[in-house]
């Protein structure tokens, strides 16, 4: 059993999807998010294993497992919450794992609705974590602090913002198969490791900071 599992070409972490009262990790999910979830809110051996490891191991142990699994020759990118999210009572532990992975030189990305986690991890080295909101009015303010995602469940396309872009003018769009940069309007494969390698989408302005140990 592995903690890291593929999301396209990217290796990511899958937590149990759905509301906590149904065994899921999505404490901040909206009804629209739950209804449209690509996981169909199903739990499996991977999500059970991830939950078990994060409950029973220390942050250092978890980071060591991830480092070993990622191995050499793969992009140094880890995607958080391919399914599920960070439970409020897991925020400190997830942050500690993120810090440990950051110190090992890994790049981390993903999306969360846990605002505390997003706020805290946005200052860490080599992290490109997005905050998902369905409140159009808070986009402008939040985007100044980091990456923000505004999903459109009718089109399946998520608007992405960072910097000083206005809510009407997203920095990029990302669907399940294609993403496009707003500046050029050109569409590309939607895969975070490809965006990372080509400096597209969420990684447009990303500069890898070398970690000194
Ligand atoms: S734009 Fe690229 S990096 Fe951002 S979520 Fe989409 S595929 Fe991942």
Domain count, the chain: 2
Residue 114 within any structural domain of the chain: yes
pLDDT tens digits, one per residue of 59-116 = 999 999 999 999 766 568 999 999 999 999 999 999 999 999 999 999 999 999 999 9
117 and 151 co-located in one domain: no
Average pLDDT over residues 132-145: 93
The mean pLDDT value of the chain amounts to: 93
CA of 190, closest atom in ligand 1: 7
Q: Is the pLDDT assigned to residue 117 strictly greater than 90?
A: yes
Q: What is the separation of C-alpha 58 from the centre of its chain, rounded to a whole number of angstroms?
A: 21
159 CA to centre of ligand 1 in angstroms: 10
* Binding pocket residue ranges, ligand 1, CB within 6 Å: 160, 172, 174, 179, 190-192, 195, 201-203
Predicted local confidence at residue 167, as pLDDT:
75
Residue 213 within any structural domain of the chain: no
Tell me which of 85, 101, 132 is where a domain ends: 132
Strand residue runs (E) in the chain = 4-7, 10-14, 77-83, 107-112, 127-132, 147-152, 157-161, 172-174, 178-181, 187-189
Owner of token pair 């990217």: 10
Residue 121 within any structural domain of the chain: yes
Predicted local confidence at residue 131, as pLDDT:
98
128 and 142 co-located in one domain: no
143 CA to centre of ligand 1 in angstroms: 16
196 CA to centre of ligand 1 in angstroms: 8
Q: For the chain, what's the residue count?
A: 213
Cβ atoms of 163 and 172 within 8 Å: the answer is no
149 CA to centre of ligand 1 in angstroms: 10
2 and 105 co-located in one domain: yes
pTM: 0.95
Q: Which two tokens stand for residue 76?
A: 């140094």
Predicted local confidence at residue 168, as pLDDT:
79
118 and 146 co-located in one domain: no
Q: Is the pLDDT assigned to residue 44 strictly greater than 70?
A: yes
142 and 120 co-located in one domain: no
114 and 15 co-located in one domain: yes
Residue 147 within any structural domain of the chain: yes
Residue 54 within any structural domain of the chain: yes
47 and 118 co-located in one domain: yes
Residue 212 within any structural domain of the chain: no
Find the domain containing 51 and state its range: 1-132
Which residue minimizes the CA distance to atom 3 of ligand 1?
A: 192
155 and 117 co-located in one domain: no
145 CA to centre of ligand 1 in angstroms: 18
pLDDT tens digits, one per residue of 166-193 = 777 899 999 978 999 877 889 999 999 9
Owner of token pair 């991977």: 46
Predicted local confidence at residue 75, as pLDDT:
63
């Amino acid at each position: 059993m592995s903690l890291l599992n593929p999301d396209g070409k990217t290796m990511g972490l899958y937590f149990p999807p759905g509301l906590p009262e149904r065994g899921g990790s999505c404490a901040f999910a909206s009804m629209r998010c739950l209804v449209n979830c690509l996981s169909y809110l199903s739990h499996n051996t991977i999500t059970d294993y991830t939950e078990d490891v994060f409950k029973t191991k220390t942050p250092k142990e978890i980071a060591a497992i991830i480092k070993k699994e990622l191995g050499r020759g793969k992009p140094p990118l880890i995607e958080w919450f391919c399914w599920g999210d960070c439970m409020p009572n897991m925020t400190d532990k997830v942050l500690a794992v993120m810090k440990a992975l950051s110190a090992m030189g890994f790049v981390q990305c993903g999306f969360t609705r846990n605002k505390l986690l997003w706020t805290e991890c946005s200052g860490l080295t080599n992290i490109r974590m997005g905050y998902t909101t369905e409140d159009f009015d808070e986009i402008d303010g939040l985007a100044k602090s980091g990456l923000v995602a505004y999903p459109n469940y009718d089109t399946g396309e998520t608007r992405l913002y960072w910097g000083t872009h206005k809510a009407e003018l997203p920095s990029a769009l990302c669907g399940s198969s294609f993403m496009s940069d707003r500046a050029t309007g050109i569409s590309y494969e939607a895969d975070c490791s490809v965006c990372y390698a080509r400096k597209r989408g969420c990684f447009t302005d990303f500069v890898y900071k070398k970690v000194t140990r």
